[in-house]
A and B are shown apart, each in its own frame.
Chain A
Amino acid sequence: MSNTPPNSRAVDDSRARAVSRDQITQMVDAVERVVLGKRTQVRLALACLFAGGHLLIEDLPGMGKTTLARTLSTVLGFSFKRIQFTSDLLPADIIGASVFDRERGAFEFQPGPVFAQVVLADEINRATPKAQSALLEAMEERQVSADGVTMPLPAPFFVIATQNPASQAGTFALPESQLDRFLMRIELGYPDQKAERQMLMGQDPRRFIDRLDAVIDLPALQRIQCQVEQIFVSDSLIDYLQRLLDFSRQSSDFNCGLSPRGAQALKRASQAWALMEGRDYVIPEDLQRVLPAVAEHRLRGASDHSGHRGVSLARLLADAVDVTE
């Protein structure tokens, strides 16, 4: 690379970014045809994917969680498995199990649904912690161990989990340590009037899911993920990020501040967001845009025992911490 003129690389980069941006726009448009009026959430979910993190979608039943997750995986065009979490789900149902093969006279490992590029863990908080942790271990390590053999999971490995808010009956809330492994948690919320009317008047948009084409392939995704890492993060922005972290750790409003993993997640997510905005550098607005999705589920208020005050805390962070020194 050393003999190429200095500018040509920049030109290549920007051309590649333009291509990626087109693909991203296509993906957003495709998903939006099914999930109506949720452009921001869709973009956040994609940013999460581009940043190489896992996504947690949390909302009340019937808000379109599963639809969003299914649409995303269809658009991505990767191998897709879905696990419905129930209270009697066992780790083997996720990872797979060794079965005796009568013909060969040996045990053979039957891979479970976790061996897919996109795994939809539906209603993750309905399963017992034992089953939850089987998946969450795979999420962090990107490999599973069964019968003493460690097997890598396919790449990319992207988990989209959905859950009902923890205070619903019959759920096992994910502990903080496991929540921390999701790069983002997004809420869908009720659709606006226009989108809802469109849905009610027309056909069920879910029918479109099967008809959607994959917009992106593996090399394209890997290129995008590589571009995310190259998005420039300036000293000023790192200063701002550190002020945010410092505030969350020092202020008495917080029970626990943001972890270093949370800090890394914030940085990567804002890089992905900057890419989606078509910029090759991160500005504070990017950080603030992804802050609620990345930070809310990691924060807990000082006098908050139900764990439901993360929303106001993230807002406090964004409002109280000075962007410039």
Chain B
Amino acid sequence: MTGVVAYQIPRNAMTWLLVAMFAGIIPHVDRLPIWVTLVCLLCGGWRIMVYRGRWALPGGWLRALLVFSGGAAVWGHYGTLMGPEAGSALLLLGFCFKLMETHTRRDAFVVVILGYFVVATAFFFRLEIVDTLYLLLVCFLVTAALLGLHQSPLQTAPRRTAWLAARLMLQSVPLTLVLFLLVPRIGPIWALEQPSASARTGLSDEMTPGDIARLSQSPALAFRVEFEGAVPATDQLYWRALVLDQFDGRTWRRHPQQLHPDWVVWPGNPNPWRSSQQALGQATAYRVIMEPTDKRWLFALDLARSDQRGIGQTRDFRLVNRVPVSQPFSYRVESALNHRLDPELPYWLARRNLQLPEDGNPRSRELALQLRQRSGDAEELVSNALALFRQQPFSYTLKPPLLSGDRVDQFLFDSRRGFCAHYAGALVFLLRAAGQPARVVTGYQGGEFNPLGNYVLVHQFDAHAWVEVWLPGKGWQRVDPTAVVAPSRVAEGLEQAVAGEGSFLADSGFSPLQYRQWAWVSQLRLGWDYLNFAWHRSVLGYDADSQRRWLSSWLGGVDWRRLGVALVVAIAAVLGVLALWVLWRNGATTRDPVLKEYQRLCADGERRGVARQPGEAPGRYLQRLGETFPGQARQYQQCARLLDDHLYRAEPTPGAVKRLRRLRRSLA
């Protein structure tokens, strides 16, 4: 160390940098391993102690050790240095380490640039409206630090810097909007490996009734739906996501073939099972804006069809996305609520939907045979089976007893308490045992209507399981045994269904959904959700498709040339307005009419080749003009006297403006 520190980062800039660092770490904290946060806080604390003059900056060896061990630790934790997760951890560490060794101006600039990157990487993981506002705040802090670096060390008023930074940010808003709206949305040039399924709450691809003693419900949002027409009745809203058609006596699963590429047909390709689906009547169109699930399956009412690229239809008439949904995702669907599916059931499909374990649950099988014998045809079989649930003392609960061994037997004959998964599983078992093809479908049922934005909110606690049974001539028909046991579950939602039990959202005491009985809480919650909805739809959902639609409505067709012209014109307009504003602010105009006249005089003088220097007083300048144009020296002298009198003398002369104007006109 050379003892003499030639350059010191201005206090002002240092304060802003430190604040920006702490603020920049916060959005990453919940995702990063705890030690990264701790190291960052340590670095920040160290830097503060240096700033206060208590500690020294760390020496070269310590810095090298920190950098290498930091890199090694990230590698050890993630097994890679690539990808958004490990990359952002590395970036954050680098940010803090760099701040700690910052003592030259150049270092400080590097830290500022890193700060902007830290903000940008946070957007990989957070896109909600609050997150965005917060990250804008961090962006503002980093900008303030950047400004502080350019200010005199004597400028120690942080408020002044803040005000300047805020103005800069505000001035950038119009250009940001233009770029956001008009820059062509092309696919990403580089693909980012998205963080894979960390534990997100949501639907599972398995169903094991009997293992869960207490169904936990999450108030988190699953997706929102905006209908283009009227919203169908709540008991029509069965959002299909998965078909579980394999049962091993304990768990319902998907058949392995469902994961095979042939199971899906993509738009543009010939649909081999087109003949198996017949839409009857009008289609209902709507847009689903879903939260990330990290799964490929999508939610839709049957019979669903989407023309969006990357969305395919499966053999069991569900919609899937080509890649896991790791970002908020929106898609448009048309559903024919009235339909006929698989009027002729292929043999292989029938066999699959009759599959049962070799043995087990003898009492249920026995019951199924009795039902079969009692019923004339398939439809009667179904209604008899449902009647069973209605007549026997079955009850709907979120706290069912645990089951083991012959679970279906236990449920149907002993416990008789359970939630949708129990009923759906048991009914499919009975139907299959009676020789009728049937399957379990899971997804969401119902939803909450938000009158503010005319859309439906579906929460995680709306998750549901029901049954589809194949009837000859009619194809697959939806049957919901839960609706028989607890009609309110389907008609009014989960809350009503378990009202007696009081178990609704028992785990999430702080969720505003708990307080639905208070109207204003509901209002507030729905209002807030509407804001989020609008954010998702208009900002996050502004993809290539919506851009094309929006632009065509404005420009009457989109091609590269029109887009280019629109972009250039819009940017020029924004910059022009800003430039005019700056001009207007910085001089061309003033409130004082005498000064205005003087400014016109200066403009005239400049046109005549004698420009005013900034530091030139009016008297001096007009004298110079008089010397350049000796014929008019007298008039210029008069102007100078008038100006001096008005601007600097105790008693301004009345009529100065008029006389000045007259003089100016005589001069011009």
Partner of A324, one of B151, B152, B647: B647
The answer on a CB contact under 8 Å between B150 and A324 is no
Instruction: Find chain A residues with CB under 8 A from B154 CB.
Output: 249, 254-257
Q: Which of A310-325 contact B (CB under 8 A)?
A: 318-325
The answer on a CB contact under 8 Å between A281 and B155 is no
The answer on a CB contact under 8 Å between A250 and B155 is yes
Instruction: Find chain A residues with CB under 8 A from B648 CB.
Output: 232, 234, 236-237, 281-284
Q: Knowing A249-B152, A325-B590 touch, does A234 contact B617 (C-beta < 8 A)? A: no
Partner of B595, one of A254, A256, A281, A325: A325
B22 → chain A closest CB, angstroms: 27
B168 → chain A closest CB, angstroms: 16
Residue on B nearest A253 in the bound complex, by CB: B152
Instruction: Find chain A residues with CB under 8 A from B590 CB.
Output: 325
Partner of A234, one of B152, B620, B647: B647
Give the interface size bracket for B toward A. Answer: 20 to 34
The answer on a CB contact under 8 Å between B155 and A321 is no
Residue on A nearest B160 in the bound complex, by CB: A250
The answer on a CB contact under 8 Å between B619 and A319 is no
Tell yes or no: B650 within 8 A of A by CB: yes
A211 → chain B closest CB, angstroms: 40
The answer on a CB contact under 8 Å between A318 and B615 is yes
The answer on a CB contact under 8 Å between B617 and A254 is no
Partner of B615, one of A232, A236, A282, A321: A321
Tell yes or no: B649 within 8 A of A by CB: yes
The answer on a CB contact under 8 Å between B151 and A236 is no
- Provide the B237-263 mask, 1 if CB < 8 A to any CB of A, else 0: 000000000000000000000000000
- Please measure, in the bound complex, the distance between the C-alpha atom of A281 and the C-alpha atom of B645, giving whole angstroms: 9
The answer on a CB contact under 8 Å between B650 and A232 is yes
Q: Which of B538-586 contact A (CB under 8 A)?
A: none
A41 → chain B closest CB, angstroms: 21
The answer on a CB contact under 8 Å between A236 and B647 is yes
The answer on a CB contact under 8 Å between A324 and B615 is no
Tell yes or no: B153 within 8 A of A by CB: yes
The answer on a CB contact under 8 Å between A283 and B614 is no
Tell yes or no: A214 within 8 A of B by CB: no
- Provide the A275-289 mask, 1 if CB < 8 A to any CB of B, else 0: 000001111110010
Instruction: Find chain B residues with CB under 8 A from A220 CB.
Output: none
Tell yes or no: B414 within 8 A of A by CB: no
- Please measure, in the bound complex, the distance between the C-alpha atom of A63 and the C-alpha atom of B153, giving whole angstroms: 37
A232 → chain B closest CB, angstroms: 4
- Please measure, in the bound complex, the distance between the C-alpha atom of A211 and the C-alpha atom of B524, giving whole angstroms: 94
Q: Knowing A281-B649, A281-B650, A285-B620 touch, does A252 contact B152 (C-beta < 8 A)? A: yes
B189 → chain A closest CB, angstroms: 39
Partner of A323, one of B614, B649, B650: B614
Tell yes or no: B587 within 8 A of A by CB: yes
- Please measure, in the bound complex, the distance between the C-alpha atom of A60 and the C-alpha atom of B590, giving whole angstroms: 48
Tell yes or no: B269 within 8 A of A by CB: no
The answer on a CB contact under 8 Å between B620 and A252 is no
A274 → chain B closest CB, angstroms: 9
Instruction: Find chain A residues with CB under 8 A from B614 CB.
Output: 319-323
The answer on a CB contact under 8 Å between A324 and B155 is no
Instruction: Find chain A residues with CB under 8 A from B616 CB.
Output: 323
B495 → chain A closest CB, angstroms: 61
Q: Knowing A237-B648, A281-B650, A324-B647 touch, does A302 contact B152 (C-beta < 8 A)? A: yes
Q: Knowing A234-B647, A234-B648 touch, does A250 contact B617 (C-beta < 8 A)? A: no
Tell yes or no: A242 within 8 A of B by CB: no
Interface hub of A237, A280, A321, A325 (most chain B Cβ within 10 A): A325
Instruction: Find chain B residues with CB under 8 A from A318 CB.
Output: 615
The answer on a CB contact under 8 Å between A234 and B615 is no
Instruction: Find chain A residues with CB under 8 A from B644 CB.
Output: 281, 283
The answer on a CB contact under 8 Å between A250 and B151 is yes
Residue on A nearest B644 in the bound complex, by CB: A283
The answer on a CB contact under 8 Å between A319 and B152 is no
- Please measure, in the bound complex, the distance between the C-alpha atom of A318 and the C-alpha atom of B613, giving whole angstroms: 10
Q: Which of A161-201 contact B (CB under 8 A)?
A: none
The answer on a CB contact under 8 Å between A284 and B152 is no
The answer on a CB contact under 8 Å between A320 and B615 is yes
Tell yes or no: A26 within 8 A of B by CB: no
Q: Knowing A319-B613, A319-B614, A324-B598 touch, does A254 contact B650 (C-beta < 8 A)? A: no
Q: Knowing A249-B155, A254-B154, A325-B590 touch, does A288 contact B615 (C-beta < 8 A)? A: yes
- Please measure, in the bound complex, the distance between the C-alpha atom of A293 and the C-alpha atom of B150, giving whole angstroms: 29
Q: Which of B143-176 contact A (CB under 8 A)?
A: 150-155
- Provide the A210-236 mask, 1 if CB < 8 A to any CB of B, else 0: 000000000000000000000010101
Residue on A nearest B649 in the bound complex, by CB: A281
Residue on B nearest A316 in the bound complex, by CB: B615
- Please measure, in the bound complex, the distance between the C-alpha atom of A86 and the C-alpha atom of B650, giving whole angstroms: 49
Partner of B617, one of A249, A252, A288, A320: A288
- Please measure, in the bound complex, the distance between the C-alpha atom of A284 and the C-alpha atom of B617, giving whole angstroms: 6
- Please measure, in the bound complex, the distance between the C-alpha atom of A2 and the C-alpha atom of B409, giving whole angstroms: 114
Tell yes or no: A251 within 8 A of B by CB: yes
Q: Knowing A234-B647, A234-B649 touch, does A284 contact B618 (C-beta < 8 A)? A: yes
Interface hub of B613, B614, B615, B618 (most chain A Cβ within 10 A): B615
Instruction: Find chain B residues with CB under 8 A from A284 CB.
Output: 617-619, 648
The answer on a CB contact under 8 Å between A324 and B650 is no
The answer on a CB contact under 8 Å between B649 and A252 is no
B595 → chain A closest CB, angstroms: 6
Q: Which of B594-618 contact A (CB under 8 A)?
A: 595, 598-599, 613-618
Residue on B nearest A239 in the bound complex, by CB: B647
Q: Which of A248-276 contact B (CB under 8 A)?
A: 249-252, 254-257
Q: Which of A143-163 contact B (CB under 8 A)?
A: none
Residue on A nearest B614 in the bound complex, by CB: A322
Instruction: Find chain A residues with CB under 8 A from B152 CB.
Output: 249-252, 254-255, 257, 302
Q: Which of B617-658 contact A (CB under 8 A)?
A: 617-620, 644, 647-650
A281 → chain B closest CB, angstroms: 5
- Please measure, in the bound complex, the distance between the C-alpha atom of A24 and the C-alpha atom of B650, giving whole angstroms: 23
Instruction: Find chain A residues with CB under 8 A from B599 CB.
Output: 324
The answer on a CB contact under 8 Å between A283 and B619 is yes
Interface hub of B620, B644, B647 (most chain A Cβ within 10 A): B647
Instruction: Find chain A residues with CB under 8 A from B595 CB.
Output: 324-325
B12 → chain A closest CB, angstroms: 12
A30 → chain B closest CB, angstroms: 30
- Please measure, in the bound complex, the distance between the C-alpha atom of A256 and the C-alpha atom of B156, giving whole angstroms: 11
Residue on B nearest A318 in the bound complex, by CB: B615
A50 → chain B closest CB, angstroms: 19
- Please measure, in the bound complex, the distance between the C-alpha atom of A6 and the C-alpha atom of B598, giving whole angstroms: 32
Residue on A nearest B640 in the bound complex, by CB: A283
Residue on B nearest A232 in the bound complex, by CB: B650
Could you name 11 residue pairs across A and B whose Cβ atoms are closer than 8 Å? Answer: A234-B647, A237-B647, A283-B648, A284-B618, A319-B614, A319-B615, A320-B614, A322-B587, A323-B614, A323-B618, A325-B595
B contact residues vs A (CB 8 Å cutoff)? 150-155, 587, 590, 595, 598-599, 613-620, 644, 647-650
Instruction: Across the A-B interface, give the 5 residue pairs with the lowest CB-CB distance, nearest first.
Output: A284-B617, A236-B647, A232-B650, A319-B615, A281-B649
A contact residues vs B (CB 8 Å cutoff)? 232, 234, 236-237, 249-252, 254-257, 280-285, 288, 302, 318-325
Known: A237-B648, A281-B644, A285-B619. 14 other contacts (CB 8 A): A232-B649, A254-B154, A281-B649, A284-B648, A285-B617, A285-B620, A288-B617, A302-B153, A319-B615, A320-B614, A320-B615, A324-B598, A325-B587, A325-B595
